[in-house]
């Protein structure tokens, strides 16, 4: 294993209130060995990985639905739309934002529209 710490500049004060919660939980659960603590961390990492996958799957479904909405809009209008304007309109009609930021997501919708239309 590597000698480098994952978070070398970390300090308990910077990690509050999570640090205190973990110390209390580890004490009350009798987690004094590295193996017992590692098991708890492994279970937590597994749950986090499952949640990240679920989030990724949901995002793919949202992307698919956005393209479907765009296609329906095109059919209803009877002509090929301005993909920039339609991507902007679709994006602003939904109530969330992603890490890539608004502009990145609008461009993602636009590329999907251009590929499909």
What tokens appear for 88 in the block? Answer: 């902007």
Q: Where are the domains of the chain?
A: 12-116
Helix (H) or strand (E) holding 53: helix 34-77
Could you report the per-residue pLDDT of 16-49, keeping only the tens digit for each? 998 999 899 889 999 899 999 999 999 999 999 9
Specify whether the CB–CB gap between 86 and 73 falls below 8 A.
Answer: yes
Could you report the per-residue pLDDT of 7-16, keeping only the tens digit for each? 878 888 988 9
- Give the Cα separation of 2 and 9 in Å (integer): 16
What tokens appear for 46 in the block? Answer: 């597994």
- Give the Cα separation of 72 and 81 in Å (integer): 11
Q: To the nearest 10°, the Cα dihedral for 109, 111, 114, 117?
A: -50
Q: Please list the helix, strand and coil fractions of the chain in percent, rounded to the nearest 5, in that order.
A: 75, 0, 25
> Phi, psi at residue 9, to the nearest 5°?
-100, 20
The pTM of the full predicted model, rounded to 2 decimals, is 0.55
Could you report the per-residue pLDDT of 80-96, keeping only the tens digit for each? 667 777 777 766 665 55
């Amino acid at each position: 294993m590597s000698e480098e710490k994952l978070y070398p500049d970390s300090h308990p004060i910077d990690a509050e209130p999570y640090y205190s919660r973990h110390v209390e939980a580890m004490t009350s659960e009798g987690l004094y060995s590295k193996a017992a603590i590692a098991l708890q961390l492994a279970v937590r990492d597994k749950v986090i990985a499952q949640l990240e996958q679920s989030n990724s799957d949901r995002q793919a479904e949202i992307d698919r639905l956005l393209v479907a909405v765009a296609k329906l809009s095109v059919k209803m209008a009877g002509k090929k739309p301005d993909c920039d304007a339609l991507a902007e309109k679709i994006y602003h009609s939904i109530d969330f934002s992603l890490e890539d930021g608004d502009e990145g997501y609008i461009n993602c919708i636009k590329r999907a529209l251009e590929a499909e239309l």
